[in-house]
Amino acid sequence: MKTKPTLLLILVSASLLIQSCSTPKNIISLEPDREPDKWLFGQAFVSDSIFGIHYEVGFDRLENNRYQFDFHITNRSNMPILIDPASFYCLPCDSSMEPLTENGVNAIDPEIEILEIDKHLSRNEARQKNQFGVAVAAVSVGVAAAIITHTDDNPNNDHLAHDISGDLVDDVRISDMESEFEAFDLNELRHTWSNSTIRKTTLDSNYAMYGKVLFPAFPQAAFLQIFLPVDDELIQFTFKQLQLPAQ
């Protein structure tokens, strides 16, 4: 008599658990707090200038807990200027525009990201070389084992060479494939950071540069202020953060 209610309770609990685990997260988007200066393929851009340095900034997307912005920077002054994204910073704010952090939070530095990727690639290369050495050792062990099994009279040793060297080579082959996939992903990531982001650059007069700038994400913020130093002054942009339901 107790089996049916217990089974029903288990089924209901499992159904509720599945529903709770599969609920999609809200989509986070940022929009300018004022009328956009221009639109480009559905992306809203705001712009401002100081000392002849012109910035256009548009939010792209949130990915891996980082905001991605597209920056268009033009030097209309008569002097070259150093553009360093590491000097850009943001300030997350609540609905009353009160800061959520004591200090501004700097943008992600592409040079540091690229250096970390290079370190991973170097370790990956060393690991692959070590795996090659293990594979050579495995073959040597297999040869030695084969000699032993062919010179003794114990039939139980007939599979010794295959078992020892074969298992080692299989393990090395699997590990080597994993290293190759990791290296491919890292090289793709390095290419993206190297060619798609705003990097530290001396921007000459009458030249422009385009690329992405990434900031750490603050899902709890209502607003995000972005500050861009130009000499001793700051250009400021404010974006309103939206939580859009996925259902």
Task: Give the pTM.
Answer: 0.72
3-state secondary structure of 8: helix
**pLDDT digits 0-9 by tens, 63-78:** 999 999 999 999 999 9
Which residues are paired to 74 by β-bridges?
Answer: 54, 208
Which residues, 6+ apart, have CB-to-CB distance to 144 below 8 Å?
A: none
Q: What is the CATH number of domain 24-109+197-244?
A: 2.60.40
Q: Residue 19: is its pLDDT beyond 60? A: no
Please tell me the predicted confidence (pLDDT) of residue 133.
46
Percent of the chain with pLDDT over 90: 62
Residue 196's alpha-carbon distances to 5, 74, 182, 183, 186, in angstroms, are 59, 17, 21, 19, 15
Domain layout of the chain by residue ranges: 24-109+197-244, 114-194
**pLDDT digits 0-9 by tens, 124-161:** 888 777 654 455 555 555 555 555 555 666 656 555 55
